[in-house]
A and B are shown apart, each in its own frame.
Chain A
Amino acid sequence: MLFDHLSVRDGSVAKRMRRLAAGLRIYVTEAALLLPALLACIPVFILVTGSVMGRGELAAYLLPVLNDSGGYIDWKLMPDYPTFENYQRLLLETPQFFVLFWNSIRMTAVILLGQLVIGVPAAWAFAAYEFPLRKGVLTVYIVLMLLPFQVTMLSGYLVLDGMGLMNTQQAVILPAVFSTFPVFICYGGFSGIPKEMLDSARMDGAGEALIFIRFGLPLGKGGILSALVLGFLEYWNLMEQPLAFLEDKALWPLSLYLPEIGWQQAGYAFAASLITLIPAVFVFLSGQDYLEKGIVYTGLKG
């Protein structure tokens, strides 16, 4: 009885302590999570600093690799004499770079456009209609989506060779247009649309094409954009297919060309890498919500 007031005070102190501890725990957790995440971004910092480093400075830091001597390479977070000479050389004096940049843009754009025209309606067929073997066909689509390129490499080569498309950009573009991956993602976006809504539109006399355009496309926008974002990151980074199917280096995308730049031209390589990185970062930042949604859609069951 006598100490009642004390225990009440103790309680409030304990409560405050607990709240403080909980707040502190969140900070500690966040710090612990942030550190490896920041480490994950180090390659970008190296690219940025390298791209504004002069030729002489780079040569000094990378000397051990350049002449394969003993010792280790060195680096600085901030170059002593920041310069844009690498970019200047790349953008003004290397027309070849533009050819490859344009190759990458063209292939990515045509593939994504083709996927929109071919894949989105296919996803709509799976989401909005019941038809015989629907489940079976969808399973086939999922399996095809999951098969690694190497397994279908020979079959892809045989058909492309038969069509006379080897060593043309069509050899990379056409198979990608018919990829089942975007179909599956868009299907995820469409599957949330209630069928009753479509049925009532039909009662009002809307045709099937109109229903797709009026309801499917706007309501499934999330899935379609997700497929585009994931697709962009994939095709901007394309390596296996062009490596196998494109012999002529003038047809290559940037992603194959960058690694060919030697240590002697490190500054140039840094600048070219950074410029390749920019569109991907732009798409990533502006489409992150759709990216995450798309990742979650890949997880939907058939």
Chain B
Amino acid sequence: MSKRSKKNHAKTRDQVFKYFAILCTGFGLLALGILLVDIISKGIGRINWSFFSSLPSRHFNESGIYTALIGTASLLFFTIIIALPIGIGSGIYLQEYGARNRFARFVEINIANLAGVPSVIYGILGLQFFVRMAGLGSSILAGALTLALLIMPIVIVATREALKAVPNSLRDASLGMGATKWQTTRRVVLPAAWGGILTGIILSISRAIGETAPLIVVGALVYVPFVPEGPLDQYTTLPIQIFNWTSRPQQGFMNNAAAGIIVLLAFTFLLNGIAIYLRNRWYNKIKL
């Protein structure tokens, strides 16, 4: 074979691979598009004010997501209150104070692994510890503690990454002026890292908002016709309400589920959008 035809051969393969990659991307986008069109066409007709303000009902036309929304909001509120201080605190310790030795690396790897553990496992842990042993029952608090465990690794990793991105020259500048480690962390490093930490927090919340499996395990899959009033009340959440509706035979409930998915997707897109915006702003700010 001549040199020229060899070259052409390589060129052809290059083209083939390019089209293959385009095809793969197109397939993913197509699947997503079909899913969105299907859900929006079914659900958009159900989205009106009464859908947001109604309690669940046996009649699909009167059914709404009010209890689920309040349930999701209260659950997230307690999840955040529990997970953030512990997660951010651990991140600061591991990145700024912890020694760089084998034990630290061991902890580091395990936290990264925890972030990848299937969420239902957290549900089983929560069921045993919070629901049964701590006697919290299927309360908001039990669910929030479970979700807090679930998102904590994400918060820790995000905090560490954000702290890592702060140049050491800033720490030197502060320490060189006679600031203590804590003054340096609080006045220089944390403010500089805050954008990155916030981004991680928002992404972890957007993860928590859609979680279903662990909440089913800790007992949120119940018909709750009332709005929870305290952390020890029973509750339901948006994804669980959707799950509930999809298990009904009537088409009307399917449409309700589709409408619920639209609301859930809108929340997730919004949170992710805010996270991306904050991250870009932060990167531009921290670059020295």
A and B pair up:
no
Binding site for A on B (CB under 8 A): none
Binding site for B on A (CB under 8 A): none
